Structure 1
Amino acid sequence: MASEFTEDVARGVLAEACAATGLNAGGAELLRLGSNAVFRLASAPVIVRIAQDPSAAEEMKRGAAVARWLASEDYPATRLVPGLAQPAVVGGRVVTYWESAQDRVEYVRLDELGDLLKRLHWLDEPESLGLSYYDPFSRVAGGLAALTEVSEDEREFLEQRAARLQKDLARVDFVLPFGAIHGDANVGNAIRHRDGHAILIDLDSFALGHREWDLVLTSLYYERFGWHTKAEYESFVYHYGFELRNWPGYEVLADIRELMMTLWLGTRTSGDPRLVGEFRRRLDALCTDGSRRDWQPF
């Protein structure tokens, strides 16, 4: 379905979804087209998210339930539009409606992300959420199965790397508590509300897991990719209160997230030369243990 999920397809679903709820899709701005198409409506302070995967109903249902729980805890996170049955299925796609928190895209500082995660990790999640256990290798397996533009040797390399990392993970001793995690925590999923405070967004990956998983992307972005400055990263560590890179399991988690990022991109190239080029760059770096400093965020 990835190759069929174009902006035109997403806008068709958006028009139908808005018509069904009394909203106006005219002039909607496409903010992102990836695992979800994310639109900001021009006619109302509403964000509409449309899942690329038609079978994502359970994931989106979980995200909506998490949003309601965080609202009940007065936790600073994205909020559902009230009064609508969510998630909805429109045109065979899964749709959710969220309050628009800002008028232009502005991400938070890393110290604010550290505060958000520290506060999140203090919460006690209710059993009624029905969160599943965080399993990175289910995503790795799905990514491997969906890859098409790789040679047999490249596929074998990726499969062997995944198998080795799975064994390495089984030997990791986690030191932070186990509980609810965002599952994809990074500065791209934390934005500034129009009133000035930081909020967490994209709640679909919430799961039960060790809190180290919510720290590894920020550490990886700084240490291997150079996407954060030293001062920014140190502010994150100070505000959260834990330096993941001093923990022996860091390299394993970082290697797993690198593999997940590469596979995710490899299943979404759709002939786009930019995405194809970035996927080949990442794959080459993994195969040769080359530098990651030229990796680009998507």
Structure 2
Amino acid sequence: MLYQLPNRIVARIGRPGTYEIALRELQASRWLATSGFPVVRALDVHQPTLVEDRPVTWWELLPEHRSATPSELGAVLRDLHALPLPAETPLPEHNPLRGLSTSICGASTVSAADRSWLLSHLHDLEKRYRELPEGLPRCVVHGDAWQGNVAVIPQRRPVVLDLDHVAIGRPEWDLIPLAVDRMDFQRISEAEYRAFVTAYGGFDVTTWPGYRPLADICELRWLCFALTKADSNKRAAAEAEHRLSCLRGDIPRPWTWSAF
């Protein structure tokens, strides 16, 4: 939850039990800023503040902005991935499978048969992830790289937002969401995708042999996000059921998934 306060301050309130995540987000923001990378700025105060097991962090309000285009996102990821690995800031190891088992087992809106299928699918993805081929050199990754997490401010370099998942890992992961948007959903045009690839430096993740396993993990994560909201949101429950039908192969690509 975000709250705008006087003096252009934003308070971000995390979920219970997420103090360590909030702390890593602050560390990532400060390290990126020190590295000269345009990033949402944390206030220079002692934080996070803990209120009833919820971490509260304090940030500078951004000026008026818009989301990035595919080419702008590609350029931001190119520059992020080119940064030297931090020598002192402790960034975690990126694992795109983390938390998925908990989300599946804790989902109360799925049948026993669907839960069994999801866990089997997850087990298969874990195996495929361990067997991924070599790719680009490991680097700092954003972990949730999509156009809405890059703020484009007039006459300034684009600013990176939402640092919860910043980690050390495979750069290919940051390229997957936009590639999936093109290949499985057709949310963007071929020209927009080509502009993204060109801005990143010419590497097209869809031609890498490890593309499909990472794409499948990405789509399972998007399904699990809907599952975590399904208890209290009927639209999320219906969307989760639709996404599950897609992953099971009942609905052919290109898919249409909706916000809720």
The TM-score with structure 2 as length reference comes to 0.93
Secondary structure at the aligned position of 1:89 is classed as strand
Amino acid at match of 1:158: L
Amino acid at match of 1:44: N
Identity, in percent, stands at 31
Amino acid at match of 2:2: V
User: Partner residue of 2:185?
Assistant: 225
Larger RCO (CA under 8 A, 6+ residues apart)? 2
Matched, 1:161 2:161: no
User: Partner residue of 2:238?
Assistant: 277
Q: Distance in 2 between matches of 1:255 and 1:122?
A: 26
Q: Distance in 2 between matches of 1:102 and 1:194?
A: 9
User: Partner residue of 2:223?
Assistant: 262
Matched, 1:39 2:7: no
Aligned counterpart for 1:93 among listed residues 54, 60, 65? 54
> For 1:19-168, what aligned pairs fall within 5 Å after superposition?
37-41=1-5, 43-52=6-15, 54-82=16-44, 84-103=45-64, 106-168=66-128
Task: Say if 1:174 and 1:210, in contact at 8 Å, map to a contact too.
Answer: no
Ranges in structure 1 where 5+ consecutive residues have no aligned partner: 1-36
Give CA deviations for 1:253-295 in whole Å, capped at 9, x if unaligned.
Answer: 0001101110121011233222122111101111235235211
Amino acid at match of 1:47: V
Q: Distance in 1 between matches of 2:190 and 2:4?
A: 33
Ranges in structure 2 where 5+ consecutive residues have no aligned partner: none
User: Superposition RMSD on alpha carbons, in Å?
Assistant: 1.6
Of 185-194 and 202-211, more deviation after overlay is shown by 185-194
Q: Distance in 2 between matches of 1:173 and 1:97?
A: 40
Q: Distance in 2 between matches of 1:210 and 1:126?
A: 15
1:297 is displaced (CA, Å) by: 4.1
Amino acid at match of 1:128: E
Task: Say if 2:109 and 2:231, in contact at 8 Å, map to a contact too.
Answer: no
Task: Say if 2:3 and 2:10, in contact at 8 Å, map to a contact too.
Answer: yes
The TM-score with structure 1 as length reference comes to 0.82
1:201 is displaced (CA, Å) by: 0.5
Q: Distance in 1 between matches of 2:136 and 2:59?
A: 32
Task: Say if 1:102 and 1:194, in contact at 8 Å, map to a contact too.
Answer: no
Give CA deviations for 1:126-178 in whole Å, capped at 9, x if unaligned.
Answer: 23222221112222122123211110000000000001111111221131111
User: Partner residue of 2:167?
Assistant: 207
Q: Distance in 1 between matches of 2:147 and 2:134?
A: 23
Q: Distance in 2 between matches of 1:275 and 1:292?
A: 20
User: Partner residue of 1:174?
Assistant: 134
What is the aligned length? 258
1:189 is displaced (CA, Å) by: 0.9
1:195 is displaced (CA, Å) by: 4.7
Give CA deviations for 1:62-118 in whole Å, capped at 9, x if unaligned.
Answer: 110111111111101111122x21211123311111111133x62011111111111
Give CA deviations for 1:185-220 in whole Å, capped at 9, x if unaligned.
Answer: 111211123554311111110111111011111111
Amino acid at match of 1:70: L
Q: Distance in 1 between matches of 2:52 and 2:155?
A: 35
